[in-house]
Amino acid sequence: MCGIVGYVGDRDATEVLIKGLKRLEYRGYDSAGIALIDGKLIVQKGKGKVINLEKGSKKNNLSGKLGIGHTRWATHGEPNDVNSHPHLSETGKIAVVHNGIIENYNTLKKQLIERGRTFQSQTDTEIIAQLIEEIYTKSKGVTFEQAIRLALKQIVGTYGLAILNIETPDKIYIARKGSPLLLGVGENEMFIASDASPIVEYTNKVVYLDDGEMAIVTRSNYEVKTIDDSPLTKEVHELAISLDAIEKAGYPHFMLKEIFEQPRSIADCMRGRIDVENSSILLGGIEDVIDDLVNAKRIVIAACGTSWHSALVGEYLFEQLAKTPVEVEYASEFRYRDPLIGKGDVLLVISQSGETADTLAALREAQEKGALVLGICNVVGSTISRETDAGVFTHAGPEIGVASTKAFTAQVVVLIMMALELGQRKGLISSDEMKRYIAELSRIPAKVEHILEHSDDTIKKMASLFTYAPNFLYLGRSYSFPVALEGALKLKEISYIHAEGYPAAEMKHGPIALIDEMMPVVVIAATDHTNDKMVSNIEEVKARKGRLIAIINDENTEVKDLADFCVSIPNTIDCFSPLLTVIPLQLLSYYIAVNRGCNVDQPRNLAKSVTVE
Ligand code: AGP
């Protein structure tokens, strides 16, 4: 969950590194630092955001043409100056920045201390610098590059690493195992980063390092090898994202920009994949495995967080439209319980970042057991997208806000298209029904636009009434149940208000005890076939003086008369309703968080991509 950058070339390395770290801050932001080689090895680092590092670098007038940088999400050792990266070896000649977790660092640290080494920090990362130096200085005839390889062979865990050695002032050494690392190839300059956002303004040529690989980088060249010293020739990819896609474009926060981008991101997700004329769907990324999907005994979907919520929507979709049994699993639970999955099964992993450690581990576990593994990812070139057997990209564009919004709706669109294609291939959806589904799907972007245009002000006003509520309850049935969970997560993670999502009927089995005049209850009453039941749930809330916020279809007058506050949204087919009902909940959580003065794009304790377990 940390961000790593590196640069070598003719530019002011400090400026390139700081700018790059700002673009990676969504990955982790409790401390930051850089190391530069400018005749000597200089380190500037400390607790706090990159802006503090920038001020410190300016004050100390740092300069250099080669360097590495890091923005941290603490795993070992509290966020403070000494635990921030880069970490130095004892002699101060080697600097390391690291993303990942060294699981055997205690053992290695004890061994190094027994050999007389002293440590400054409580981090696992520091042992990497110390171990490399121990091997390099104590082993005869070992080059620095070999010392790195020998050290990495002793490490159990995950890493994305960038390393400097003052004795090789023109080189940056990078290595990857389990945490993403890219090399940006420029004209007589090279860029290193945890993802493409720090690189895209300089070059669109990138090389993705894979697990077990390292590279030695100079301004004019790079050599990629395995950790066992076998040279590799890697493909140079062209980045498909642009700089303005990662800028705020005039919005106060990335999250608001990404909420308002949804009409376009949903349209982009469908582009070239739905044919309204012929009422057909074509998902090229799974074309080769569609028969395996048709014949699958079941589909297991594994994911985390918001992606797990879209997975729950997928369960309803596949079972309703394609009559394929589905099980939804938390990736972290799936991977540790020796899952009963194998040949004939399909595991579908969903991940916006394509780097979530638990989801990646679930993928690898299922592959080892012989299942076909498909992916739904938003980041092209991400590890999960490269390790699945096939998959579908959501094409939602870079999602910078830590709270996922447009990625959720794009994931649901992909799941809808997959379920429709599967249902049609299984002969369960007639061409007339397909025509109706596809025609409605093509109208969704405009319906999302309508909600954004007509409800934004209402929701902003409503948010001011609930800004200091201590708790929230979100209730939904059927397709609205996962949306209730998603709405609660949005509120929790950016406003720090405790919120719970529940299947509406479940409220009677305990949570109803929570309801009083202090408890705002958001009910999502926009699915036709459960509306009557939702009305009785709403009556139960009202009878206990709960303050009711209802997300309803335009003509749902029954609920409108009962609710204290209403947000009306356009009608749609029940199985498409999550694409619309989630929008007001995203806006509600955003405005409440802003009213509370929270850092909406970088909420406390969180990071955008959880690449540690
Ligand atoms: C969503 O708002 C959260 N930031 C988080 O739950 C996220 O969905 C989860 O970490 C999974 O990330 P992924 O989709 O990139 O795998």
Cα of 306 vs centre of ligand 1, distance in Å, is 5
Residue 378 near ligand 1, beta carbon < 6 Å: no
DSSP string, 444-513: HHHHHHHHHHHHHHHHHHHHHHHTT-SEEEEEE-TTHHHHHHHHHHHHHHHH--EEEEEEGGGGGGTGGG
CATH code: domain of residue 314:
3.40.50.10490
Q: Is the peptide bond before 86 cis (omega within 30 degrees of 0)?
A: yes
**Together in a domain, 94 and 186:** yes
Ligand 1 atom nearest the C-alpha of 404 is: 2
Q: Which residues pair with 206 in a beta bridge?
A: 184, 237
pLDDT in tens, 409-464: 999 999 999 999 999 999 999 999 999 999 999 999 999 999 999 999 999 999 99
- Domain-located, residue 497: yes
Q: Is the residue at 525 inside a domain?
A: yes
Pairing of strands 31-37, 41-47: antiparallel
123 and 23 belong to one structural domain = yes
Report how far ligand 1's centroid is from the alpha carbon of 601 (Å): 13
Q: What pLDDT does 283 receive?
A: 93
* 398 and 450 part of one domain: no
Q: Which atom belonging to ligand 1 lies closest to the Cα atom of 353?
A: 15
Residue with tokens 């955008």: 608
Query: Judging by DSSP bridges, how do beta strands 274-275 and 280-281 pair with one another?
Result: antiparallel
Compute the distance between CA of residue 544 and CA of residue 611 in angstroms, rounded to an integer: 43
pLDDT for the residue numbered 263:
95
Residues 316-364 pLDDT 10s = 999 999 999 999 999 999 989 999 999 999 999 999 999 999 999 999 9
Residue pair 368/338 in contact (Cβ under 8 Å)? The answer is no
How high is the pLDDT of residue 11?
A: 97
The predicted structure's pLDDT at residue 75: 67
Token reading at 188: 């007589």
Candidate list 109, 171, 406, 608, residue with the active-site label: 608
Is 608 designated active site? yes
| Per-residue confidence (pLDDT) for residue 65, from 0 to 100 | 97
Q: How far apart are CA 85 and CA 88, in angstroms?
A: 9
Same domain, 128 and 264: no
Rounded Cα distance, 451 and 482, in Å = 20
Token pair for 151: 């050290």
**pLDDT of the residue at 81:** 85
If asked whether residues 132 and 207 sit together in one domain, one would say yes
Tell me whether residue 333 is in a domain. yes
Q: How far is CA 107 from CA 156, 172, 242, 334, 566, in A?
A: 10, 27, 44, 29, 58
Q: What's the structural domain count of the chain?
A: 3
Would you say the CB of residue 356 lies under 6 angstroms from ligand 1? yes
Task: Find out whether the beta carbon of 486 lies less than 6 Å from any atom of ligand 1.
Answer: no
Are residues 168 and 35 part of one domain? yes
Q: Are residues 417 and 470 in the same domain?
A: no
Both 381 and 492 in a single domain?
A: no
Nearest CA to ligand 1 atom 7: 305
Same domain? 201 vs 339: no
Question: Which residue of the set 2, 269, 377, 575 is catalytic?
Answer: 2
Looking at residue 526, its pLDDT comes to 84
Q: What is the mean pLDDT of each run of 10 residues along the chain (613 residues)?
A: 91 96 78 95 91 90 94 76 93 95 90 94 94 95 96 92 97 93 97 93 95 96 96 93 75 94 94 87 93 94 98 98 97 93 95 95 96 95 92 92 97 98 96 94 96 94 94 96 98 97 92 90 86 87 91 85 93 96 98 96 82 72
Specify if 438 maps to a domain.
no
610 in contact with ligand 1, CB cutoff 6 A: yes
CB of 376 closer than 6 angstroms to any ligand 1 atom: no
Contact 174, 163 (CB under 8 A): yes
352: left (phi over 0), alpha (psi -120 to 50) or beta: alpha
**Non-local CB neighbours of 187 within 8 Å, separated by 6+ positions:** none
Whether ligand 1 lies within 6 angstroms of the CB of 304 is answered as yes
- Asked which of 197, 220, 239 is the last residue of a domain, the reply is 239
What atom of ligand 1 comes closest to residue 606's alpha carbon?
4
Domain range spanning residue 23? 3-239
